[in-house]
Amino acid sequence: MSILAENRSSLFINGTKPFGYPGFDLHGAQQVNIVVVVIGTLVGALFLGSAVSFARERTGWRSVQLFGSFCLVVLVLTHVAEAFHLLPGMGWGLPNTPGHYLDLCSAIIGLILLPLGCVLARRRNSS
């Protein structure tokens, strides 16, 4: 194996090619980035709506709703970090790593607390 081939193979991290490397499959990265932008926009709007609701009515259930939407923002940011290979020490996308558990916990907590806070805040307002 030549020195050039050894240097090229050392550029691969977990079997993926970094940006700017000749032959990098940018099409797959663009699809992921578009999905992250669309979902990130929706989650950002959801977080903004929860923040406005909390600012208007400072109750415990609105704070639960706000924290749930914040967890979904963390979820989107973990996927942004994974797509752009930021903070590789977190092990984004790999099992049993801090990045995996941050992603998993923020998804579970966000998907439980956001609707719970929203439903119970509306229930409190209707009674």
Q: What is the pLDDT of residues 61-111, one digit of tens each?
A: 999 999 999 999 999 999 888 888 889 999 988 899 999 999 999 999 999
pLDDT of 48 strictly over 70:
yes
Q: What is the DSSP letter of 13?
A: B
Give the global pTM: 0.74
Rg over alpha carbons for the chain, rounded to the nearest Å, is 20
Structure confidence by residue, pLDDT tens digits, 12-37:
445 554 444 444 455 556 666 788 88
Nearest in space to 86 (alpha carbons), one of 18, 9, 15, 2: 18
C-alpha 87/C-alpha 99 separation (Å) is 9
